[in-house]
Amino acid sequence: MDEAPSPFAFVAVGRPVRGEFTYSVPPELLGQLKPGQRIRVPFGRSVTLGFYLAPAPQPPPEVVKKLRPIERILDPEAAFPPDVVELIRFAANHYRYPLGEALRGALPPGLTKADDGKTAKADVTVFARSLPAATLEPLTRAPAQHATLSYLLAVGGRAPVEEIAHAIPGAKENLKKLAARGFVALEEEKVVHGIREGLQQSRPDALTPEQEIAVATLTKSLDAGGFAPFLLHGVTGSGKTEVYLRLVERALELGKGALILVPEIALTPQLVGRFRSRFGQNVALLHSALKDRERLRHWQELRAGTVKLAVGVRSAIWAPVPNLGIVVVDEEHDPSFKQEEKLRYQARDLAVMRAKQAGAMVVLGSATPSLETWENARKGRYGLVTLTKRVDDRPMPTLELVDLRLERPRTPETRGTEPPMLSPTLRTAIGQTLDKKQQVILFLNRRGHSTFIVCEVCGQSIRCEDCDVCLTHHLSARQLQCHYCGRGSPVPKACPSCSGPMLELGVGTERIEAEVADAFPTARIARLDRDAASSAEKLTDMLAAFARRELDILVGTQMVAKGHDFPGVTLVCVVMADSALTLPDFRAGERTFHLLTQVAGRAGRGKDPGRVLVQSYNPEAAPIARMLQNDYARFSEEELRRRVQLAWPPTTRMVAIRIDSESADLTIRVAKQLAKVAERNLPPPSRGVRMLGPAPAPIARIKGKTRWQLVLKAPTHTAMFRTLDAIEAAMAELPSAVRVVIDVDPAAML
């Protein structure tokens, strides 16, 4: 005999308040509530969005009198399947964030308010399809049409018009013009879901021997079912994506769902195109390059079970994929998987937790695994599958050092200026590559022309008024700019303090672009950074033009390292390998190794062998030396040993408590107050909890706010619970003028 439904309910409200609240259930709603369902509840003096969690036990009579009733159920079905509710509950608890806010933040646009949920039209979609005559050459004088067709070709030649329109402003009109000129066809198509004929489209005839072993190993585990975490450690160009595709095929054949997380879809249209060409309409895309109604439609199709494959960025970790069988995190080392505001979650870690809760396989793929993932594989917590060779037996690029201490010496002639960053070796290599009609990538992870300006007389640098950083000179904008708050100011003709002459030091991508243009005046050059590629249209057009070999040299920041596959690139030059090594962050060395290896992997992905030149003032530094030896194993071994000695992650768990306000005195006072609270609530020394600080943050002032921080380190998160609970309780009594953030497992210390 079934139990009668409880007249009381535990509810999480979509407000920045911690805890679960008890509400009464009106008689007309009894038996209709489901965990994860959106409801409307009174809260304070207003009504708000709430989420039903579970039945509540009978409260004491004096409490029952004060309970307020649930007003209404907003949707007949739960917004989230049970496994996603449990994942969000875990994340809210682990990352110290209100559960109701976490649930609301996991919803797509259209479902985040206390009203009836919207339903996106999903029966008919207008697609744009490129026709055989779709060549870009006649469109050189129509840049908007050129960019629109470039995007369409980059994603496989077929895409929904709404998606293209969001990526390329004005694309709807441009597509009509392209259709009139015979370049594309616009088709209305009724969306039919499920695994269709044509699943094998664009499927390679054969895998490499290593891919065969990887697919067989992982498929065996997938067929067996149950939680199974794996690291797929494959060198750049080894075909990890094809392994993912084969595993997704198998999961769909088994009637299971699949979730693919990628760092940035906007920078990897080729990857999206490969999934689209293989699975057609059976792919739900979840990222900001879609309009709100499109994101809602994709989400609702997943929730209804009509689509079982989702591809998206970190927020897709909450996607309601039905009967989840496999989760893939591509480029799992990428720092963009860490959310840096509101719910500060690490999507890679939550992917493992979600797979564990769902009894699914999780595959973390990278050529340069994070030390956290590598340590788990090394200790046997994760299975390890390796791909050591590139597809088609392509050789790995040769790696060569250019010692700037020898090739860029100071001379009397260069006093007052900096010598060119393009060393003689670099210039020669670029010239040889251009003579062969091949392409070059120049990498420098610094935007602007000069990274700081200093007076030759008094030594004073021009700094931001609101941030504790030097201003960067942006030549194209003809101004100094702060990369933290965005403040701009004119370039001074003389020192504001002593009227002495100003010296431009440091180097950015703008200056490298200018040096290359001077050295190779006939070369076709473009710059790929957040300044030059300021819109999706410019970004897409630039990447497509480089892929079509309409450009010879691409100068860029880390955007050039994000998984691109340009067969024409045979030379990659790292202009300054040392730029990130001096950052006051314990992960600086690891990120330097990752970034250098990833950008080097862009070379030699076609039929011609690749060459990588790495310029450095500090070639003995472990990240640079090991990268030049292509020795990830030795680098990780040395870096892990250093982390053990200094008690940094992954050998310990860490939490950063960050305090900031517009008042320096208030910030310092609150930081010291919270430190005292922490000291009083530290567990016994045997638990191994250590406190660092309070102290000024490495960048002590940003956007006019003074910043301090307190760091807790311990062998486990559990050991810090008591201390963090006490800090959270103290935060409730702090003045509103100060902001305190608890960042669990911080990705960076800046």
pLDDT tens for each residue of 413-457 = 555 556 788 999 999 999 999 999 999 999 998 877 767 678 877
The closest of 504, 507, 502, 506 to 458, measured between CA atoms, is 502
Write down the pLDDT at residue 199: 34
pLDDT at 197 over 50: no
pLDDT-derived band of residue 723, with 50, 70 and 90 as boundaries?
very high
The CA distance from 667 to 633, in Å, is 43
The closest of 356, 339, 277 to 311, measured between CA atoms, is 277
Lowest mean pLDDT among 11-20, 165-174, 560-569, 736-745: 165-174
Write down the pLDDT at residue 120: 58
Cα–chain center distance at 97: 20
The CA distance from 253 to 256, in Å, is 7
Helix extents (H) in 408-508: 424-435
Residue pair 329/263 in contact (Cβ under 8 Å)? The answer is no
- 616 contact partners, CB below 8 Å, separation of at least 6: 401, 402, 403, 404, 574, 576, 577, 578, 624
Write down the pLDDT at residue 413: 55
Largest CA distance in the chain: 95
pLDDT, mean of residues 27-42? 94
pLDDT-derived band of residue 118, with 50, 70 and 90 as boundaries?
low
Q: Which amino acid is at 319?
A: A
Lowest mean pLDDT among 136-140, 531-535, 597-601, 632-636: 531-535
pLDDT, mean of residues 702-715? 93
Give per-residue pLDDT as tens, 250-262: 999 999 999 999 9
pLDDT at 202 over 70: no
Helix extents (H) in 534-663: 536-547, 588-600, 622-628, 632-646
- 313 contact partners, CB below 8 Å, separation of at least 6: 261, 262, 263, 264, 265, 286, 287, 288, 336
Write down the pLDDT at residue 9: 95
Q: Which amino acid is at 367?
A: A
Give per-residue pLDDT as tens, 227-282: 999 999 999 989 999 999 999 999 999 999 999 999 877 666 667 778 878 887 78
The closest of 730, 749, 748 to 740, measured between CA atoms, is 730
Tell how strand 653-661 and strand 739-744 pair up.
antiparallel
Written as one string, the DSSP assignment of 139-159 is GTT-HHHHHHHHHHHHTTSEE
pLDDT-derived band of residue 379, with 50, 70 and 90 as boundaries?
very high
Cα–chain center distance at 306: 28
- 479 contact partners, CB below 8 Å, separation of at least 6: 488, 489, 490, 491
Residue pair 497/523 in contact (Cβ under 8 Å)? The answer is no
Report residue 282 as tokens. 């059976």
Beta strands of 62-104 (E only): which ranges? Answer: 72-73
Beta strands of 550-617 (E only): which ranges? Answer: 553-556, 569-574, 611-616
pLDDT at 474 over 80: no
Phi, psi of 255 (to 5 degrees): 80, 20
| Burial of residue 253 (number of CB atoms within 10 Å: 0-12, 13-18, 19+) | exposed
Report residue 572 as tokens. 């990659």
The CA distance from 602 to 611, in Å, is 10
The CA distance from 601 to 593, in Å, is 12
Helix extents (H) in 160-264: 161-167, 171-180, 209-224, 240-253
Give per-residue pLDDT as tens, 317-344: 999 999 999 999 999 999 999 999 999 9
Helix (H, G, I), strand (E, B) or coil at 412: helix
The mean of the pLDDT values for the chain is 87
pLDDT at 675 over 60: yes
pLDDT-derived band of residue 1, with 50, 70 and 90 as boundaries?
very low
In sequence order, what are the beta bridge partners of 399? 612
Tell how strand 361-366 and strand 228-234 pair up.
parallel
The CA distance from 380 to 382, in Å, is 5
pTM above 0.95, yes or no: no
Give per-residue pLDDT as tens, 72-88: 999 999 999 999 999 99
> According to the per-residue pLDDT averaged within each range, which of 24-28, 143-147, 195-199, 451-455 is highest?
24-28
- 276 contact partners, CB below 8 Å, separation of at least 6: 155, 156, 158, 159, 283
pLDDT at 124 over 60: no
In sequence order, what are the beta bridge partners of 479? 474
The CA distance from 525 to 388, in Å, is 33
pLDDT, mean of residues 586-603? 92
Q: Which amino acid is at 70?
A: I
Write down the pLDDT at residue 164: 80
> Cis bond leading into 694, ω under 30°?
yes
Q: Which residue has the tokens 């020795």?
A: 631
The CA distance from 533 to 539, in Å, is 5
Write down the pLDDT at residue 122: 46
Helix (H, G, I), strand (E, B) or coil at 100: helix
- 208 contact partners, CB below 8 Å, separation of at least 6: 238, 239, 387, 389, 391, 392
Rg of the chain taking only CA atoms, in angstroms? 28
